[in-house]
């Protein structure tokens, strides 16, 4: 009973929701007013949800059933359309066959009909003979199926007439009739498929002539009519059987550089006929060309000597002996591998067998070496040169940056080596370097920018210099023994690649305003990686110096300004008091810092407990100046000598001028003595340490620093003077 009530409630709810006057807002309002509480709403919600799931299942079931019926209907329509098309095609061909009967047969047929009417006993035989004759004429075209092999008529006139009749149904191919000796061999319907994804493209009709293959597309609006699509010479065409892979079956592939097309025949028999007749026609064409070459290369008989008209007044002794004609040396081109060479080259190019193609070319060049060039050889050379051009284009495309850049430089070795064998060394070098430049650029762009600059620089240097090292080794392997100009091109390319690296390096290190210590560490990492190239005899250190000098100058100048600004700020607040570090640990830490800066006698400036007999300004200046010098020496190379020295001089002058000014202006004797003690530390301890460290890092002393320290003696000799010596 409860189940029946539930079913009736669901049916009533379904009818209510399916009614045309249903309004969701009004329905929810009424439901809220009628419900006793939250529980009723939850139950109603579950009923609606169950109804929605049931409706969805019914909808899926109906869609599936309708979809199956639609597929079956579409298949039946396709079959019916195919049968109607074949029927239309057969009727059109029969009509064309009847129209091709010579008009001269009509009087004979009329006479035969009259004779049959005159003699009643022979009436049946004459009719049968006429019909047999007509069947003999119409037998040139297919009576069933979608393809036919044409052997029209006993002579060339019948073949040409058949070709003319069929090609009249193809729009845009009238120019084909201008070729003498051309006739139709085979024709039939095909379906073209897309080569990569095997999707059906279009219905076509193939016309195989004795020297070419014409492909025409089917015009659905006009039954039995086609539109010209493509024309392929047979000597540049390769046929490949495609293995059946259900549902893809009865297919074959036509290879013609630089494209390939896949066609499907109606059944296995027609596919086999297409493959056989294509091979037979190509073989017949090759044999015909070979005979023509032999006839052209065959020596002609000696010309007949005609008797010279007699001249009774001419002395026979004046006759000059005739110069014998030099017979041109014959080159044997009848060998099978030479006859099939153009076709074999096409197959190698289509199958990407580049080594096999170049081997065939080398074999031909070796055979024709030191041989004359009669017309047959020139004709063969022209055909081969066209294949060489096609092969070169394929190899160039293999090295283009548009291709996949994976696999490293070794992936280009195959195409590069074959281009070099073809005598295209310069082009191979140019394309190889362009390919590697694109690969390096892509690798740098794909490098993930980390938060830590130093970590990113480590990855950047590893990626770039590893690629450069692999490229250099591959280049040395591929171009060993070639023109030395290629090595010059590699050096130019390496400099360009280094510029690409420095752009990414500077953008991350210098444009982001990193600290001088971070910049110095990053430059040090780049230099270490660059020195690894010395293992293969490639030194690019001077290039990276030249490309980084401007950025490093900017970094030194920027950090110098920061130190000068900080020193001036401390000087403005200077009270000339001793430092109290409060704890022994802080004092010990300061001693270690000063020792790392090179100040070994700092102990004499420490007092009782945690006091230091120096000003905070002088101590901070000492640590900051020595830190600047250490980081700058990591960035140092000869081009930066004067920049570093001038920056160091400017920083020191700020402190020297402040001490000099304070010593002359201070009136308190106790503070004056303290200032003099700080000046002594600055001149006698700090400046010598700066000079020594600069000389160790650069390799030669700095006269400007010595002059600055010597000038400070005037301050110590005459401290009461109000004249500045700086």
pLDDT for 127-177, tens place per residue? 333 333 333 333 333 433 456 665 444 455 666 666 777 777 788 776 665
- The separation between CA 247 and the C-alpha centre of its own chain, rounded to angstroms, equals 33
pLDDT for 7-55, tens place per residue? 566 677 777 777 777 777 888 877 777 777 777 788 888 888 888 888 8
Phi and psi angles of residue 213, each rounded to the nearest 5 degrees, phi first = -125, 125
CA distances from 320 to 44, 307, 313, 327, 330 (A): 128, 15, 16, 21, 30
pLDDT for 566-602, tens place per residue? 988 888 888 888 888 888 888 888 888 888 888 887 8
- Return the top range by mean pLDDT from 69-73, 278-282, 302-306, 635-639: 278-282
- Helix, strand counts (H, E) of the chain: 24, 11
| E strand spans, 393-465 | none
Helix/strand/coil for 186: strand
Per-residue DSSP letter, 251: E
Mean pLDDT of 642-670: 86
End-to-end alpha carbon distance in the chain: 114
Angle (nearest 5°) at CA 679 between 649 and 694: 35
pLDDT at position 171 is 81
pLDDT at position 381 is 84
Angle (nearest 5°) at CA 269 between 267 and 273: 120
Confidence of residue 307 (pLDDT cuts 50, 70, 90): very low
More confident residue, 650 or 64: 650
pLDDT at position 100 is 64
Phi and psi angles of residue 427, each rounded to the nearest 5 degrees, phi first = -65, -40
Mean pLDDT of 489-508: 88
Question: Across the chain, which distance is largest between two alpha carbons, in Å?
Answer: 164
Mean pLDDT of 94-117: 54
User: Angle at which helices 123-138 and 38-99 pack, to 10 degrees?
Assistant: 120
Closest C-alpha to 6, from 51, 55, 38: 51
Phi and psi angles of residue 32, each rounded to the nearest 5 degrees, phi first = -70, -35
pLDDT at position 125 is 40
Lowest-pLDDT choice from 221-225, 233-237, 352-356, 464-468:
221-225
pLDDT at position 581 is 81
pLDDT for 526-553, tens place per residue? 888 888 887 777 888 888 888 888 888 8
Residue 117 has pLDDT above 70, yes or no: no
pLDDT at position 712 is 60
Helix/strand/coil for 93: helix
Are the beta carbons of 192 and 122 closer than 8 angstroms?
A: no
Confidence of residue 300 (pLDDT cuts 50, 70, 90): low
pLDDT for 506-519, tens place per residue? 888 888 777 888 88
pLDDT for 415-431, tens place per residue? 888 888 888 888 888 88
Mean pLDDT of 223-229: 82
Predicted structure pTM score? 0.49
Residue 522 has pLDDT above 50, yes or no: yes
Q: Is 113 exposed, middle or buried (0-12, 13-18, 19+ CB in 10 A)?
A: middle
Mean pLDDT of 262-280: 91
- The separation between CA 703 and the C-alpha centre of its own chain, rounded to angstroms, equals 58
Residue 721 has pLDDT above 50, yes or no: no
Mean pLDDT of 688-712: 82
pLDDT at position 101 is 64
pLDDT at position 42 is 82
Q: What is the CA radius of gyration of the chain?
A: 49
More confident residue, 174 or 673: 673
How far apart are alpha carbons 633 and 656 in whole angstroms? 23
Helix/strand/coil for 252: strand
pLDDT for 611-655, tens place per residue? 888 888 888 988 888 888 888 888 888 888 888 888 888 888 888
Mean pLDDT of 659-678: 85
pLDDT at position 16 is 74
């Amino acid at each position: 009973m409860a189940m029946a009530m539930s079913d009736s409630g669901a049916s009533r709810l379904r009818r209510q929701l399916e009614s045309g006057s249903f309004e969701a807002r009004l329905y929810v309002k009424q439901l809220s007013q009628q419900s006793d509480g939250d529980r009723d709403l939850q139950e109603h919600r579950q009923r609606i949800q169950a109804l929605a799931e049931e409706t969805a299942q019914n909808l899926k079931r109906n869609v599936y059933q309708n979809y199956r019926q639609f597929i079956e209907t579409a298949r039946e329509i396709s079959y019916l359309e195919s049968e109607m098309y074949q029927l239309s095609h057969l009727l059109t061909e029969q009509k064309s066959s009847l129209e091709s009967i010579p008009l001269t047969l009509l009087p004979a047929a009329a006479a035969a009909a009259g004779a049959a009417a005159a003699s009643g006993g022979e009436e049946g035989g004459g009719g049968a003979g006429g019909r047999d004759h007509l069947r003999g004429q119409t037998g040139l075209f297919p009576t069933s199926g979608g393809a036919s092999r044409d052997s029209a008529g006993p002579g060339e006139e019948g073949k040409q007439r058949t070709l003319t009749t069929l090609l009249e149904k193809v729009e845009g191919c009238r120019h084909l009739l201008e070729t003498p000796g051309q006739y139709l061999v085979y024709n039939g319907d095909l379906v073209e498929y897309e080569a990569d994804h095997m999707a059906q493209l279009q219905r076509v009709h193939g016309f195989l002539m004795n020297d070419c293959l014409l492909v025409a597309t089917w015009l659905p609006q006009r039954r039995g009519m086609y539109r010209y699509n493509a024309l392929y010479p047979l000597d540049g065409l390769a046929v490949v059987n495609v293995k059946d892979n259900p549902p893809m079956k009865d297919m074959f592939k036509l290879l013609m550089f630089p494209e390939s097309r896949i066609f499907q025949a109606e059944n296995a028999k027609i596919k086999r006929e297409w493959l056989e007749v294509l091979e037979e026609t190509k073989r017949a064409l090759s044999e015909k060309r070979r005979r023509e070459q032999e006839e052209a290369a065959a020596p002609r008989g000696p010309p007949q000597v005609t008797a010279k008209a007699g001249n009774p007044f001419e002395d026979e002794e004046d006759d000059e002996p005739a110069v014998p004609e030099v017979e041109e040396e014959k080159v044997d081109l009848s060998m099978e591998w030479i006859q099939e060479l153009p076709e074999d080259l096409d197959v190698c190019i289509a199958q990407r067998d580049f080594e096999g193609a170049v081997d065939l070319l080398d074999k031909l060049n070796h055979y024709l070496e030191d041989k004359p060039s009669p017309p047959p050889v020139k004709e063969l050379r022209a055909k081969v040169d066209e294949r060489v051009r096609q092969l070169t284009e394929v190899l160039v495309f293999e090295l283009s940056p548009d291709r996949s850049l994976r696999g490293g430089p070794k992936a280009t070795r195959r195409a590069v080596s074959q281009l070099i064998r073809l005598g295209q060394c310069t082009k191979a070098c140019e394309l190889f370097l362009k390919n590697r430049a694109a690969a390096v650029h892509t690798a740098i762009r794909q490098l993930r920018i980390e938060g830590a600059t130093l970590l990113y620089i480590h990855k950047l240097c590893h990626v770039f210099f590893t690629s450069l090292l692999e490229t250099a080794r591959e280049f040395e392997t591929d171009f060993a023994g070639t023109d030395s100009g290629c090595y010059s091109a590699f050096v130019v390319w390496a400099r360009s690649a280094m510029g690409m690296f420095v752009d990414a390096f500077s953008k991350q290190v210098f444009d982001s305003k990193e600290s001088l210590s971070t910049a110095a560490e990053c430059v040090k990492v780049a230099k270490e990686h660059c020195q690894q190239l010395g293992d293969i005899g490639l030194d690019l250190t001077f290039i990276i110096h030249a490309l980084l000098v401007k950025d490093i100058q900017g970094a030194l100048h920027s950090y110098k300004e920061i130190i000068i600004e900080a020193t001036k700020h401390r000087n403005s607040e200077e009270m000339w008091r001793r430092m109290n570090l409060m704890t022994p640990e802080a004092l010990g830490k300061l001693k270690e810092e000063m020792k790392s800066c090179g100040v070994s006698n700092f102990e004499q400036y420490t007092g009782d407990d945690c006091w230091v007999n120096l000003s905070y300004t002088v101590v901070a200046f000492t640590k900051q100046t020595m830190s600047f010098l250490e980081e700058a020496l990591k960035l140092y190379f000869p081009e930066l000598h004067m920049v570093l020295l001038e920056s160091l001089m400017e920083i020191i002058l700020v402190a020297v001028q402040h001490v000099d000014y304070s010593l002359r202006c201070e009136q308190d004797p106790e503070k004056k003595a303290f200032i003099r003690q700080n000046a002594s530390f600055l001149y006698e301890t700090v400046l010598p340490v700066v000079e020594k460290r600069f000389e160790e890092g650069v390799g030669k002393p700095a006269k400007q620093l010595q002059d600055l320290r010597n000038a400070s003696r005037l301050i110590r000799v005459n401290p009461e003077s109000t004249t500045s010596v700086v």
